[in-house]
A and B are shown apart, each in its own frame.
Chain A
Amino acid sequence: MVLPPVGVVAAFIGFPVVAAIAYTLGKTGGPNSMVASLAQHQHVAKHGVTLAAYREMLGDHQVLGDLWATVWVTVVAVLIVLAMSWTIALYLRLRGGKIAALLSGLSVVPLFIPVVIASYALVTFYSVDGFVRTVAYNLGYHSFPTVGYTLTAVVIGEVWVNVPFGVLMLSSGLNGVPDSLIEASRDAGASLSRTVRSVLFPLNVIPTVIVATFTAIYVLGSFTVPYLVGPSAPNLLGVSMSNYFSSFNQPQQSEVLAVIVFVLAAGIGAVYVWANVRASRRAGQVA
Chain B
Amino acid sequence: MSAVEQGALHAAAPAARPKTARRVPLVARALETLLVICLFLFMLGPLIWLAVRAFAAVWFFPRMLPNSWSLEWWRTVFDSPQFMHSVRLSFEFAPTVTIISAAICIPAAYAFSRYRFPGRRTLLISLFATNAFPKFGLYVSMAGFFYSLNLMGKFLGVVIVQLIGTIVFMTWIPTAAFSAVPRSLEDAARDVGAGPLRVFFRVTFPLAAPGILVAIILSFLAAFDEAQGTFLVGVPNYITMPTQMYTLVIDYPQQVAAVFSILLAIPSVVLMGFARKHVMGGRLAEGFQIR
Residues of chain B within 8 A of A269, CB atoms compared: 125, 128-129, 132
Decide if A94 is an interface residue (CB 8 Å cutoff): yes
Chain B 32-52, CB within 8 Å of chain A: the 1/0 string? 100110011011111101100
Interface string of B216-233 (1 = CB under 8 A from A): 000001001101000000
With an 8 A cutoff between CB atoms, is B145 at the interface? yes
Within 8 A of A (CB), among B265-291: 265, 268-269, 271-272, 276, 279-286, 288-291
Total interface residues in chain A, CB < 8 Å: 112
Within the assembled complex, what's the spacing in Å between the Cα atoms of A254 and B112?
Answer: 36
**A62-97 toward B: CB 8 Å interface, digit per residue (1/0)?**
000000000000000000000000011001111111
Which residue of the partner chain B has the closest CB to A11?
Answer: B145
Minimal beta-carbon separation of B66 from chain A (angstroms): 12
**Smallest Cβ distance from A193 to chain B, in angstroms?**
13
Q: Is B140 an interface residue (CB 8 A)?
A: yes
- Taking CB atoms, residues of chain B closer than 8 Å to A196 are none
Determine the distance from Cα of A166 to Cα of B134 in the docked complex, in whole angstroms: 22
Query: Which residues of the partner chain B approach A131 to less than 8 Å between Cβ atoms?
Result: 45-46, 49
Q: Which residue of A lies closest to B125 (CB)?
A: A273
A114 to B242 alpha-carbon distance, docked (Å): 8
A251:B2 contact, CB within 8 angstroms: no
Q: Give the number of A-B contacts (CB < 8 Å).
A: 278
The reply to whether the CB of A50 lies closer than 8 angstroms to some CB of chain B is no
State the CA gap A254–B264 with chains docked (Å). 33
Contacts of B257 in A (CB 8 A): 117, 120
B40, B221, B246: the one contacting A106 at CB < 8 Å is B40
Q: Using Cβ atoms and an 8 Å threshold, which residues of chain A touch B129?
A: 266, 269
Task: Say whether B123 faces chain A, with CB atoms less than 8 Å apart.
Answer: yes
Pick the residue among B9, B127, B160 that contacts A6 (CB under 8 A).
B127
Given A4-B108, A8-B104, A172-B283; A103-B39 close (CB under 8 Å): yes
Q: Is the CB of B50 within 8 A of A114?
A: no
Across-interface contacts of B50 in A (CB, < 8 A): 117, 120-121, 124-125
Contacts of A217 in B (CB 8 A): 132
A93-B18, A108-B280 known; 18 new pairs, CB 8 Å cut-off, are A1-B107, A6-B108, A14-B130, A31-B145, A32-B140, A92-B281, A96-B18, A106-B40, A108-B272, A114-B242, A172-B286, A178-B5, A206-B289, A210-B289, A262-B132, A265-B132, A266-B129, A284-B2
Instruction: List 26 contacting pairs A-B, 8 Å CB cutoff, sorted by A.
Output: A2-B108, A2-B111, A2-B123, A99-B36, A104-B280, A108-B276, A109-B44, A113-B261, A113-B265, A116-B249, A117-B264, A120-B50, A120-B261, A130-B49, A163-B43, A168-B280, A168-B284, A175-B14, A176-B286, A178-B5, A178-B12, A214-B288, A217-B132, A238-B136, A259-B137, A280-B289
Binding site for B on A (CB under 8 A): 1-6, 8-9, 12-17, 19-20, 23, 31-32, 34-35, 87-88, 91-97, 99, 102-118, 120-122, 124-126, 128-131, 133-135, 137-138, 160, 163, 168-173, 175-176, 178-183, 204, 206-207, 210, 214, 217, 221, 223, 228, 238, 241-242, 245, 251, 254-255, 257-259, 261-262, 265-266, 269, 273, 276-277, 279-280, 283-286
Report B's interface with A, CB cutoff 8 A.
1-2, 5, 8-9, 11-12, 14, 16-19, 32, 35-36, 39-40, 42-47, 49-50, 53, 60-64, 104-105, 107-108, 110-112, 123, 125-134, 136-138, 140-145, 160-161, 163-164, 167, 170-171, 221, 224-225, 227, 241-242, 245-246, 249, 254, 257, 260-261, 264-265, 268-269, 271-272, 276, 279-286, 288-291
